[in-house]
Every structure is written in C-alpha cells, then in structure tokens.
Amino acid sequence: MQKRYHTLENIIFDAIVYLVMAFVLICCLVPFIYMLAVSFSGTKPLINGEVFLWPKDFTLDSYKQIFTYPNFFKAYGNTFLYAVGGTAIALIMTSLMAYPLSKTFLWGNKFFTKMVVVTMFFSGGLIPNYLLLNSLHLVGTRAAMLMPFAINSFNLIILINFFRSIPNEIEEAALIDGLGYFGILRRIVLPLSTAAIATIGLYYAVFFWNDWFNSLIYLKSDQYPVMMFLRNIVNGTMVIGTGSGSAEKTTIAISVKSAVIITSTVPIIVIYPFLQKFFVKGLTIGGVKG
C-alpha cells in the first residue's frame, strides 16, 4: 500500500475537497429540508415567512388534502406502473441490442453503432413521433409510456462498453461447451454485468418516474402519473385548499405542492442507497473511453 505523506500541500488539498463536498451536500439537502418543513407547517407561519428548516405549527393538513384527492392514489399507481414496467422493458430491450453490438466481428457493427450515436443528437421531432404512435394505435393507452422509450442511446452505449470489457475467453469456453449466444447472455454476461444493469436501470427508473410531458401528450387524464398531479398544482389548473383569501390559498397551494414533491421523491431516495455501489462502478467501467 502506498504511504500517504501528511505534507502541508496534501492537508490543504484534502481540506478543499471536504469543503467542496460539504458545500454540494448542503446545496442538495437545504431545499429538500425546506420543502419538508413547509409541508408540515401551518398556514399562518407560512404567510408570515417564519418557516425555513424547521416546521412551525406542525400539521398534516397538506398530506390529508393530497391523500384525499380523488385521483392521487390512482396517479401514484400509474407512476409505479410506468416506472417498474418501463424499466423492466427498457432493460430487456437495451440488453438484447447492446450484446450483439458489443461484438466487433458482427457484420455492420460500426454502421449500426454510428446510427445509435446519431439518434443522440437528432430525432424525428414531436409531431412525427405523435403521428407514429397514433398510427400504431398507442395514443391514449399506457403502452405509449412504455414502448417508445424502451431504448435510450446513452444507456445503450454504456452497456455496450461494459459488455466489451468482459473477457472473450469466457464466451469462447461456453461456446465450446455447447451454450448458445442467448444462453451466454442470460447465464454469463448478464450476471457479470450487475453494476451496469443497476446503473442504466436507475437512469431508466428516474426517467419514467419524473416524466410528465409525454404523458400530457399521449395519455388520457385517468392515466396520468403523479408528476402530472404536481404539474397541475404548479400551473393552477387543479384547485387546492379552502382558504378565504388569495394569499391564504396561495400559501396552502405551496404547502400542498411541497407535500406532493416529498411524497413523489421519497421512493427514489429510498431505492438509491441500495444501488449506489453498483451505480458508481457501472458508470465508470461502462463509460465512453477516449
């Protein structure tokens, strides 16, 4: 193990690194803690601007309002469906496309890889995409949130590079033993690619969880995810609160908005620590190399 010398330069460097990390941590935590405090605070302290990082006049009224709203739990259920189902479909489709493209001996490999890269910078546009989904009879169905986003170019490239890092000798030995390529992918490559799968799985899950724009275009109102619920509050298209004055109604809307943000982000925050160790490794190994 290399010995680390405690020189003045090293101490100053470590101090700067810790200060930067602490600053970034504070910048991430303070807004979340503030929204948490707002969601649990009463109306009067919010109107008077007395709430910062600790709730005043503790109350659960904001959460009662969103939990008793008719479509909230249905929207939450739709979000779980899109996040879980969409991530599962995306992982399957991305793996099936990344594995053959990771083989340099495959005819047309360079051409198809370049086509994948092109789609990262150019797309057909919103109207052609809508016309395509409409011609496939997907508009107005939940499949419109699952199928069109099954493969993301960036995630695909990460998985291709990860698959290429697996020694070819392992696959050659499996072929000699009579295992086909689908068997190699299922029994050898995927178990060795847990870090990469967890990385792109987290990317896909966050995308499907946070997406609201595509649901606004392609889905019916009873199929909306919880992010559309939050969007309607922000735009004022959904009536929240029973306050008498405009200031009170605005304050209640802010409190309810914070409650929706908290309830919609907690699942991702809970899941991330279990994937973090795989996330760092998968992003590093599967990254594009120069």
Burial 223-243 (b: 16+ CB within 10 A, else e): bbbbbbbbbbbeeeebebbee
In which residue ranges of the chain is pLDDT below 70? Answer: 1-5, 233-253, 275-290
Does this model's pTM top 0.75? My answer is: yes
Phi and psi, residue 158, nearest 5°: -60, -45
If phi > 0 it is left, if psi is from -120 to 50 it is alpha, else beta; for residue 225 that is beta
Domains annotated for the chain, with CATH where assigned, are 64-285 (1.10.3720.10)
Q: pLDDT of 101-123, one tens digit each?
A: 988 888 888 888 888 888 888 87
Angle at alpha carbon of residue 40, lines to 249 and 80, rounded to 5°? 90
Amino acid at 58: F
Looking at residue 250, its pLDDT comes to 62
Q: At what angle do helices 153-164 and 194-210 cross, to 10 degrees?
A: 170
Looking at residue 251, its pLDDT comes to 64
Q: Which two tokens stand for residue 285?
A: 């190994």
- Distance from C-alpha of 207 to C-alpha of 87, rounded to nearest angstrom: 9
Residues 6+ apart with CB under 8 A from 177: none
Q: pLDDT of 157-187, one tens digit each?
A: 989 988 888 888 888 888 888 888 888 888 8
- For the four alpha carbons of 254, 258, 263 and 268, in that order, the dihedral sign comes to positive
Q: Which two tokens stand for residue 216?
A: 């606004």
